[in-house]
Structure 1
Amino acid sequence: MRILPFSTPGRFWRGNLHTHSTLSDGALKPEDVVEAYRRTGYDFLQLSDHFLGRFDWPIADTRNLRSNDFTTLIGAEVHAMATSAGEYWHIVATGLPLDFPPAEPDETGPMLAARAREAGAFITMAHPSWSQLTIEDGRSLAAAHAVEVYNHTCAVLTDRGDGFYLLDQLCNEDRRLMAVVGDDAHFHSGDLDAFGAYVMVKSESLDPEALLGALKAGKFYSSQGPRIHNVEITRKDVRVECTPANAIAVVTGASAAVSRVGRGLTDVTIEYAEARKWAWSELPPIKWFRIVVIDGPRRAWTNPIWVDALN
């Protein structure tokens, strides 16, 4: 069978869900950020400015910056206390209404995330490594749809861009979360922190509501550059078609993984049960796996694929 997002009609649209402007702590005006992404070849952008009182609770109204070939999603990066580290939660809420009420003084991160989801937003745990989120933090944020598994700004500025440690552990506890990436660009150092990661969303149109619905349905994959054209799965193997890569891997919820390595790989079939052969000890049955396409330092990632959904 073909799986989401490759099995659904429409085309892929390239977008970024995590970026800042002068409405909070970014260096560029909203219209200049939008133009930078449009000019670089993106199809959509969300300005996710910090939803805090110090910035007068901004939710960027970018509707007037939409055009026939580029659109915007409405959202923000919302905050409340307190993570296990005693700091603000950073939660990217995509699809917030413009009149979303400010956080209450006694509102916790999980409470705020739940309220944003009830308002229609797609909820992402932002930059978990930079925020030093623990597994207990991840468990508490029950409203989340996804974990930000790569944050470009955190990677290039502090080497804390990876979030797979949290996604994988939560999936092992049967949380069916998705994997998103974002730039988190602020443009204080030119475009050093921009254009490094994007989501590829499958939709029949560029309509913002269609894109938001596709995100919630898992009709997307994430990338730093490589493109995944198709994934087909049987009860025992995975076929991956992609732009030229030097490795394609199937990663499971344990140490077990299996990959094909070569030059210019574009069409590879991998028996995912083989991953168990490479484990150091006996493993329970594989409950989920995800696919990674590796092109030098750049990656593309599918969402976790649950084996019971393949039956």
Structure 2
Amino acid sequence: MQLSAFTAPGRFWRGNLHTHSTLSDGVLPPEEVCRRYKAEGYDFIALTDHLIGAFDYPLADTRPFRDKDFTTLIGAELHSGAMQNGELWHILAVGLPFGFTPPEAPGFSPVPGQESGPEIAARARAAGAFVAVAHPQWSGMTLDDARSIKAAHAVEVYNHGCATGCDRADGFHTADLLLSEGRRLSLVATDDAHFSEPDHFGGWVMVKAEANDPDLILEALKGGDFYSSQGPELRNVTVKEDSLTVTSSAVTTIIVQGHGSAAVARHGQSMTQGAIPLTRFAGSPWLRVTIIDAAGRKAWSNPIWR
């Protein structure tokens, strides 16, 4: 058994799925945001400005910044309704159509009568978007909150802006609990870049597709044909009955995680392949892989369902 990211046709394309500009609370105009990501070697980005009334409900048109080497996906960060802590929902939607009707969200506080978070997530998915639960740790999200977003394709498991701005970057606890409840979710790393601090070029997705085309990239995201990274490259993940084999760029640690406390690590120098026995995972319906390089940078596979 292999993850679809390594069996799907095409090649890997590097992209960021969570970015802001002067259309909402970012520092740089959309054209400059796109220019910087392209100059940094990215193949695509989604400019996901806050779709709220305080910024006149922007849905950034980044199509003029596409060229033969760089493309964009249309998206937004959606806000509507209150989580259990009373704060406004943040939901990432990539691949929105320009006709998407914004919620009634005048600002960053919930208001009576507006759509709930689950409702706007479902509406975005029905409109064709790839939907992710954004920065669970930063948001103070409860497990019940996360469970309620039935329309999610993914959980944002690493958010670089939340790492640099408040040390609340993590979404793995939320994702792992949902996986153990049977939710078939993928895992995304993002920047959430505003360019007001060093919140950019720190986490991305590597998407497998036959061309760097917005429709093909979106289809691959929905199909889980990608992995996430801060730098290391995952090159293959293969599961046999009693072991899991990882092939990668040079790393010092390979970890397999599963249900509950199940985890096994291998450590070494400049490892490019490692096999992990699966005895520890006999009761786990899912597995995922983390690799760590000598600089401490990580890459993460999507879950493997057994």
The normalised TM-score by structure 2 is 0.95
Distance 1:196 1:78 in 2: 22
**CA deviation after TM superposition for structure 1 residue 106, in Å:** 2.2
**CA deviation after TM superposition for structure 1 residue 3, in Å:** 2.1
**Residue 144 (structure 1) aligned with residue 152 (structure 2):** yes
Distance 2:189 2:3 in 1: 20
**Residue 5 (structure 1) aligned with residue 13 (structure 2):** no
2:190 aligns with: 182
1:304 aligns with: 303
Alignment deviations for residues 222-273 of structure 1 (CA, whole Å, 9 cap, x no partner) = 0011000111221221111101100101111111211111010101111122
1:198 aligns with: 204
- Aligned match of 1:125 in 125, 129, 133? 133
Distance 1:4 1:86 in 2: 39
Identity %: 54
1:157 aligns with: 165
1:66 aligns with: 66
Read off the aligned partner of 2:168 and give its amino acid letter.
R
Distance 2:126 2:255 in 1: 36
Report the more deviating stretch, 12-21 or 264-273: 264-273
1:214 aligns with: 220
Q: Secondary structure at the match of 2:67?
A: coil
Distance 1:256 1:239 in 2: 17
Alignment deviations for residues 158-203 of structure 1 (CA, whole Å, 9 cap, x no partner) = 00001001000111111111100110010113xx110000000000
- Structure-to-structure mapping, 1:234-245, within 5 angstroms: 234-245=240-251
Distance 1:167 1:285 in 2: 18
Q: Secondary structure at the match of 1:25?
A: coil
2:287 aligns with: 289
Contact 2:237/2:246 (CA < 8 Å) preserved in 1? yes
Distance 1:170 1:3 in 2: 19
Distance 2:176 2:284 in 1: 13
Distance 1:25 1:222 in 2: 25
1:281 aligns with: none
**CA deviation after TM superposition for structure 1 residue 297, in Å:** 2.0
Distance 2:296 2:85 in 1: 31
Which structure 2 segments of 5+ residues have no match?
105-112
**CA deviation after TM superposition for structure 1 residue 4, in Å:** 1.2
Distance 2:89 2:297 in 1: 28
Read off the aligned partner of 1:142 and give its amino acid letter.
K
Alignment deviations for residues 30-61 of structure 1 (CA, whole Å, 9 cap, x no partner) = 00000000000000001000000110111100
1:99 aligns with: 99
Distance 1:272 1:6 in 2: 21
Moved over 2 A (4+): none
Distance 1:166 1:2 in 2: 25
Q: Secondary structure at the match of 2:5?
A: coil
Report the more deviating stretch, 292-301 or 62-71: 292-301
Distance 2:50 2:168 in 1: 20
**CA deviation after TM superposition for structure 1 residue 2, in Å:** 2.6
Alignment deviations for residues 118-165 of structure 1 (CA, whole Å, 9 cap, x no partner) = 000000000000001110001111111100000000011100001001
Contact 2:206/2:228 (CA < 8 Å) preserved in 1? yes
- Aligned match of 1:230 in 220, 228, 236? 236
**CA deviation after TM superposition for structure 1 residue 99, in Å:** 1.6
Read off the aligned partner of 1:140 and give its amino acid letter.
S
Distance 1:99 1:3 in 2: 34
2:110 aligns with: none
Distance 2:38 2:287 in 1: 34
Contact 2:259/2:283 (CA < 8 Å) preserved in 1? no
Question: How many residue pairs were aligned?
Answer: 297
Distance 1:177 1:232 in 2: 19
Which structure 1 segments of 5+ residues have no match?
277-283
